[in-house]
Structure formats: structure tokens, C-alpha cells
Chain A
Amino acid sequence: MSLRCPEVTLAVLLFAALAGCHREERRFSESLPASTPLDSVVQSDIRPGGTPLPHQPDFIYETNAYAVSQGKQLYEWFNCKGCHADGGGAIGPALMDDQWIYGDSPQNLYATIVEGRPNGMPSFGGKIPPQQIWQIVAYVRSLAGQVRKDVDTSRADHLFTRKSEQSMASTEPRASSPPPQPQ
């Protein structure tokens, strides 16, 4: 018993180290969801004739703390923060609540950032490299508690404006658009 303990500990440590490696992994080249995201973007719950939902590829950045923290920095550098604040919204809508106007999947968010949206969201396609957009996507989902806690960024170095992503409650996303503005 006492003999086997170090082995178990070692195994646990090794597993933790490997898992940790993945969590901390820096990627310099990507194939990932980045190349072909748009055929899996869906905005409606209605699938005429019961057509199956397209395959949603795994989003590996959501298990990668480095990607999420990069996303947080890029979110500031590309002025996402200027319109969405620290997730509470300003010119643009809040990102930390359960309302996702154009869908909550990573693919939806990617498409929103690249294409822009008609009511004011700029089209960032061609401005931000795809890999960095995916990192921003991972961070934006973390704002609403949609990534693993051990991957979330912790408290920012800046003026304290809200709980850290790590201590933020996770809310069930709801794909709900606000009512259209009558003209």
C-alpha cells in the first residue's frame, strides 16, 4: 500500500502535467476550426424537413488558457472593449448575459466578428487574422461563463470593474433577438 502510493501520485502528477501542457499549449500554426467555419453557422432553430444540424467541430481554444488570455488582450487592442466594455456592453450589447442575438456557438461568434452585423457591429474580416479572431471568440464566450473554469482568465490588472471570468456564474445561453425596431 505504502509502496504503491508514490506510483499513484506519480501517475496523477504526470496526468496533471500533461493536462496542464494542453491547457497551456501555445500554437503557432493551426488547421483547427479556423479554416472552414461558415458551413456550420446556423441562426435559426427551424430546420425545414428536419434536416440534421451540421457537424459542429470541437473548439480547441476553449480548453486552452493561453488562447483565452490572448483573446482578452486582443479584445482590448482591437477596441472590442470600446463598444462592449468588460462584457456589460455600451454602444454594443452586453456579452456576459444569456442573450445571444446572433447565436452563441463559436462559429456564430466568428461569423459575427468577420461579417459584422447590420445594426452597428463592424465587419472585422480582413482586419484581424483568423487565428486571433478565434482567440477573441474564446474570450467572449468566457465572459458569459461558457468555457472551463481552469481555462478562464483570472482577475485583470486594471481598474476592478466586475468579478473575474473565473468567478463569473455560467448562464445558459439563449438565442434571442430583441424585438425589431419599428420604422
Chain B
Amino acid sequence: MHAGRQRRLPRVTALLAILFAIVSVTALAEDRDAQWPMPAGDFANTRFSRLEEVTPANVGSLKLSFSFSTGLLRGHEAAPIVTTDTMYIVTPYPNVLFALALDKPGAPLKWKYEPKPRASSQGVACCDTVNRGAAYDAGRIFFNTLDGQTVAVDANDGHELWRAQLGDITHGESMTMAPLVVKDKVLVGNSGGEFGVRGWLTALDARTGHQVWRAYSTGPDSEVLIGKDFKPFYSQERGTDLGVKSWPGDAWKRGGGTVWGWISYDPGLNLIFYGTANPGPWNPEQRPGDNKWTAGVFARDPDTGAAKWFYQYNPHDSNDYDGVNENVVIDLEIGGRMRKVFAHPDRNGYLYVVDRETGEVLSATPFVNVNTISSIDLKTGRPNRVQDKEPVVGRVIRNMCPHAGGGKDWQPSAWSPITRLLYIPHQNLCQDEEVVPANYIAGTPYVGANVKMHAGEGGHRGLFTAWDVAAGRAVWQIKENFPVWSGALATAGGVVFYGTMEGWFKAVDARTGKLLWQFKAGSGIIGQPISYRGPDGKQYIAVLSGVGGWAGGIVAGNLDARDVSAGNGWGGLMSDLPDNTRQGGMLYVFALP
């Protein structure tokens, strides 16, 4: 009996476990499509929805289901976040969190939460007072405020659970990025690369808000969390305290390398990947050296923050080519075998395919017109820079391509595992630049560059490109008059979505790029489109309109285009935007009738 019991119990347990697994997998699968818990949709940063109700054949009859005004006038870059029956939107400053009831007709407001950040923080936001979205995990909503706080709110009733003051606006720090929640840790980074701040990524305990670790992007190894596990692929990233030694004097203390972009996570390798922003100031003569660990990508253990490897896209960056763009985690067949990689369209105009286990660059191909870098040396990993286009004090360098915003800025691309294409929203822009001595006064801009931008070859300022990552070539491309400053969304139905700065929300065929449907929003679109299955079982597509951001400052900040350097060089370039769109934050949600 004893023995029999012992034999039977495991069998029952096993059966139960299998049953439970089936139930939970089904539940999870359903859950996953009914949710959009983080701006990128998933840890891999694919921005791919598995829903296939909306197809090229029927998208033409897509209709507006409901809309919601945020009542705010600055740039709306956030992605709506969706759990089973609620949609959450975080606005630009003053960073109000709205919760909309998706299970009621018209999705009325359930509640709102106001963190009331300090108004002065608007003065240290380099590129409009944007916020790139919230994140949902285990009944909590997390987001950052412009004045440098991370906040946790109860997802059900909107009451504040905790808040952590991480950034200091008196030193030019702000926060604009969307957190990523990995294993009960909220990962957040700072902004302020144009204010001489020192960049960092911080992990907070999701339950309490207490700091678990912080990894700086400059400074001694102990503060960058570089230890015995650190094994970078290229020799120039090896050595002790390079975050100090690759700078003159104590310039690393105000050297930038902020973390305001995207974080991706590979649960299999237990590694997070995120980029560090430009070194400060822009004037490169004030910081001879490689300026580590700016303008590159870190792989870290999310539990401890320990760095596993680092690769610098732009050593001694002299173009404001931040490394913060998304690293899309995919497995790719290269040379006949499957490789664990990520795809990264960098500001410098090259699309990198990087072995995410080792940090080796497998390929780097220009996806726009680039004349500042002639090629990437795959042996050393270093870019071959074009000397004629190198900024020097006392000389105006003409026609540097891509411009300071890069071949692509923050606006995130989407990957479809079906078409195996990366859909990249980006721009076709160049600039004239003169660097000048920058004066560091804490809390004020630290840039040292006079800039005026112009459209690149062809005169179109924006592009939407479907990129074959394995082959390293564009499959199709759509030219847009204005920079495409919105995110992209790919769906299993075979439709890809993006928005334009005039306010067109577009659906195109994932395979051909053919325009299938468009809707004119009240204001230009720089938000991130998402898709979810509503409580009624239908597929919905949602996006925020509300022009602004760095590219749209001329409208959001009412700049005067007679000064072409307005908005850090965008003024002249975007002087016709105010004739094409006006301010105003509004959520639009669409479905088939």
C-alpha cells in the first residue's frame, strides 16, 4: 500500500501538471493576444500582433470604434497599454495616466492618476516633454515622470503603490522612456544627454520601488557594473575602468550615455539588451577618446545588473548618433545555421545584426544614405569614418548624412516572423554643422553645436522601409513628405501600420507596401500603434495622435522657423509642418464593423 501510493501519487500529479499546463498555456495564449502589456508588445521588442482578423482584403473597411482626448498639446509618443478589459495611456508632461474601460461601450474613463511632476522639468526636456509609455506587470502599472520619478499604480483602481525619485532635474536629468519589467524588476533609465548628465539604467523592486542595482554608462567599472563576467567580443572594449580612461579628466561625470530608449530581454539567455545615448557635449573636441560606454549596447544579467558584453556602435561619437534604438531579438539563419541575434537599426544609418550571446557584429548594412561613415569594419567592429565629414571647431561641415537625428531616431520598428521583414519608420535627412565650445552650467544645455538640417537625396524627409535582415536589403520602401516619427506595428493578418506627421494613420500590405487604408487624425502621429483583442473578441488597432517630439517641436513648441536652427536645427527643415497639422492629443481605436 505504501508502495502503491507512492507509485500512484506521482502519476496523478503528473496528470494534473499536464492538465494544468494545457489550461494555462491556452489561457496564456488567449491572454497574450488580448493584452499589449508593454509598448513593444513583447520582451523581444517585435511589435508583432498574432491577431489575424484584419487582413489586406478587409482592412479597407476598418472603422473608428472610439476616441479619447487627453486634453494635452505636446507630443504624444506613448503606446497604449492593454490588459484584459482596460487600456492605459500615459501622456506627455504632466504625465497623467488614464485608464479606459474596454468592456463598456465607447470605452469610458475608469479613473485617472496624476503624479503631478514638477513644472520646472519642462525646462530640461531636450526634445519636447514626451513620454514613451507605461508597462503592465502583475496587477501594477509602472511609468516614469518627466521630473525623474518612477511610479507604480494599482492597475485596478489607480491608487499609487510607490514612487521613487531617481533623476535630479537641477542637474538636467529627466525621464521619458518606457520601463521594462523583467522578473519583478522595473528597469528604467534617464534622459538628459544634451544637459551633461551621466547616464544610467536602474532596476527597482516591482513591489516596493527600492533600488536593486544601478549601472552607470560612464565611470569606474564598479559603477558600470563591469566585473569578472564581462566578456566583450572586440578588443577595444577590454581593459580596466575604460569608462574613466577613455575620457579627458573628469569629463565622464557629465559625459551622457543616457538610457532613454528601448530595452529588450531574452529569457533563454537571461540577458537584457539596451543602448546608451550620445556622449556629451556634441562638440567632440572637448572629449578626445572613445568615450565609453556611450553610443553602444550593453548585455546585462537582469538579476544583478552585471555586464556580460558591450559593443560600441559609435566610438567617440561626433554626430549625436545615440545607440538607444531598439534591439529586436530574433533568431536568424546566417551562413546555413540558426543564430541568436538582434537586429538594430542605428542612428548612424547602419542596420546591425549582432550575435546576442557574444556581441559579435555579424553584418552592418546602411539602410539610408550615409556619407559620414564609409563602412563598418567587421574584424574590429569599428566604423570607418569619413574625415571630410568630421566636425571641427571653426569650420562649417556641409551635408553630413544622416543628420543628428540619425537615419532613424527613437521611433521603433516592428518585426514579422511571418514575412521575416523588419518594418522601419525613419527619416532621410542631412545637416550642416559647426561645432563650438560648450560651456557646462549644471541644469542648462551642454551641446556646443550650431545645426541646420535639410532633406536628403530625393527631397522626401521620411521613409518607411521593409528590410530583409538576413539579406541586408530593402524589399520595399515608402517615401513620406515628413519624417516618419511614429512607431510601426506588424500583424499576423499581413497588415502593417504606421502614422505620419501630417496625421495620416496608414495600413499597408506587409509583403508589398501597398497602401490599403488610411485615416486622417486630428493632429500628426508620433505615437506607437498597437493591436489587441477586445473583450468582445474583435481585433482592435489603437494609436495616439498629437504631434511634437524633437521633429515636431515647431508645432508643439510654437517655434519660429525664420531661425533655421530653432529646435536644435529642425526649424528650417520643418517650417511647413504648422501648415499641415496642429497640436492636440487624441487616442484613436479602430476595428472592423
Chain A interfacial positions (CB closer than 8 Å to B): 76-79, 82-83, 85-94, 96-97, 99, 116, 118-122, 127, 158-159, 161-163, 178, 181-183
Across the interface, name the chain B residue whose C-beta is closest to A81. Answer: B445
Provide the residues of chain A in CB contact with B565, threshold 8 Å.
Answer: 85-86, 88, 159, 161-162
Given A121-B123, A162-B564: A90 and B441 interface contact (C-beta under 8 Å): no
Is B377 in the interface zone, CB < 8 Å from A? Answer: no
CA distance A83 to B451 in the complex (A): 14
Minimum Cβ distance to chain A for residue B431 (Å): 10
Across the interface, name the chain A residue whose C-beta is closest to B72. Answer: A181
CA distance A89 to B443 in the complex (A): 17
Provide the residues of chain B in CB contact with A159, threshold 8 Å.
Answer: 396, 432-434, 450-452, 565
Across the interface, name the chain A residue whose C-beta is closest to B126. Answer: A91
Minimum Cβ distance to chain A for residue B548 (Å): 13
Beyond A120-B125, A162-B562, list 14 extra A-B contacts (CB 8 Å): A76-B436, A82-B446, A88-B564, A89-B567, A90-B567, A90-B568, A91-B126, A91-B445, A94-B563, A159-B452, A178-B558, A181-B94, A183-B94, A183-B114
Interface SS of chain B: loop
Given A79-B439, A158-B436, A162-B562: A93 and B557 interface contact (C-beta under 8 Å): yes
Minimum Cβ distance to chain B for residue A61 (Å): 23
Minimum Cβ distance to chain A for residue B188 (Å): 22
Is B124 in the interface zone, CB < 8 Å from A? Answer: yes
How many A-B contacts are there with CB distance less than 8 Å? Answer: 126
Given A82-B445, A120-B121, A121-B123: A161 and B558 interface contact (C-beta under 8 Å): no
| B432, A87: Cβ atoms closer than 8 Å | no
Residue pairs across A and B with Cβ atoms less than 8 A apart, 15 shown, are A79-B439, A85-B567, A85-B571, A88-B561, A88-B565, A88-B567, A89-B558, A90-B557, A91-B445, A96-B560, A119-B119, A120-B121, A161-B563, A163-B562, A182-B71
Is B34 in the interface zone, CB < 8 Å from A? Answer: no
CA distance A76 to B444 in the complex (A): 12
Is B447 in the interface zone, CB < 8 Å from A? Answer: yes
Minimum Cβ distance to chain B for residue A65 (Å): 22
Minimum Cβ distance to chain B for residue A102 (Å): 14
Is B392 in the interface zone, CB < 8 Å from A? Answer: no
Provide the residues of chain B in CB contact with A92, threshold 8 Å.
Answer: 123
The 8 Å CB contact of B123, one of A120, A163, A182, is: A120
Provide the residues of chain A in CB contact with B451, threshold 8 Å.
Answer: 159
Minimum Cβ distance to chain A for residue B385 (Å): 21
Q: Please report which residues of chain B, range 79-94, place their CB below 8 angstroms from some CB of chain A when the two chains form the complex.
A: 93-94
| A79, B72: Cβ atoms closer than 8 Å | no
Is B566 in the interface zone, CB < 8 Å from A? Answer: yes
CA distance A85 to B449 in the complex (A): 11
Minimum Cβ distance to chain B for residue A180 (Å): 11
Minimum Cβ distance to chain B for residue A147 (Å): 18
Q: Please report which residues of chain B, range 91-147, place their CB below 8 angstroms from some CB of chain A when the two chains form the complex.
A: 93-94, 96, 114, 116, 119-126
CA distance A116 to B122 in the complex (A): 13
Is B591 in the interface zone, CB < 8 Å from A? Answer: no
Which of A79, A91, A163: most chain B Cβ within 10 A?
A91
| B72, A85: Cβ atoms closer than 8 Å | no
Across the interface, name the chain B residue whose C-beta is closest to A87. Answer: B563
Is B405 in the interface zone, CB < 8 Å from A? Answer: no
CA distance A28 to B246 in the complex (A): 44
The 8 Å CB contact of A82, one of B121, B444, B559, is: B444
